[in-house]
Amino acid sequence: MTKFLFLLAGARHNGNTEALARAAAAALAPDVEQRWLRLDDLALEPFVDIRHSVGAYPPLEGHADTLAQATLWATDLVVASPIYWYNLSASAKQYFDHWSGWMRVPDLDFRARMAGRRLWGITMSSDDEDRDAAITGPLAESLKLTADYMRMTWRGLLVGHGNQPGDVARDAAALERARGFFLAN
C-alpha cells in the first residue's frame, strides 16, 4: 500500500506551496493513502545534540513522537516548503534536525526503517523562472543529500512561481507539472 505523508512547512496557512502540493496530490490514485501535517501545528523544541555526551536519546514524546511515527508510516514523504533564504523553511529544517536524534533512539531503528522510502519536494519561488536552478538548487540539494544519507530515493522537486497569496493559481505551467509530478517519477 502506498502512503503519502505531506509535511506542510510554510509559514502561511493555505499558501501557494500548499496549493501546489494539493494540486499534485489530486492526481494520486484513490487507493493511495494520504496524511497531511502542518509542521507549525506540531512545533518541535530546538534540537539538542547529545550523542557525544549521553549517546542514546530518550523515547520520543509529544509532537516529536507524532512526527516520527507519521514519517515511519509513509512510503512517500513530501516536504512542501517555500524557499526561505534559498533553502528549506525553519520548521522543515527543525524537523530534519530531529532526525539526528531519532536515529539514536533505542529500538526505533529510524534510519534503517527509512531506507527505500521515497522523498519528494514541492516549493514556490518568487524569482523568475530563468534563475530557477540558482534559487531552488540549495533546497533541492538539501533534500537530495538527506535522501542519499538515509538510503531513500530522491524523486525530485516540483517548483511553482509566485509571491503574493494565490499567485500559484496563475502559474499554469506549474499546475500542469503538478498533475503529473507523482505519476511521472
The CATH number for 108's domain is 3.40.50.360
Low-confidence winner among 29-38, 82-91, 129-138, 170-179 (lowest mean pLDDT) = 129-138
Q: Which three cell numbers stand for residue 126?
A: 518568487
DSSP string, 10-65: -SSTT-HHHHHHHHHHTTS-TTSEEEEEEGGGGPPPPP---TTTT-SPPPP-HHHH
List 119's β-bridge partners, or say none. 77, 154
Question: Residues with Cβ < 8 Å from 160, sequence gap 6 or more?
Answer: 16, 17, 20, 122, 123, 124, 125, 168, 171, 174, 175, 178
Domain that holds residue 58: 3-184
Average pLDDT (20-44) is 97
Residue 11 scores a pLDDT above 80: yes
Task: Indicate the residue type of 29.
Answer: A
Rounded to whole angstroms, the Cα distance separating 150 from 114 reads 6
Q: How many domains does the chain have?
A: 1
Residue 163 scores a pLDDT above 90: no
- Report the percent of the chain where pLDDT is more than 70: 96
User: What does the pLDDT look like over 90-115, one tens digit per residue?
Assistant: 999 999 999 999 999 999 999 999 99
Average pLDDT (24-36) is 97
Check residue 140 and give its pLDDT: 95
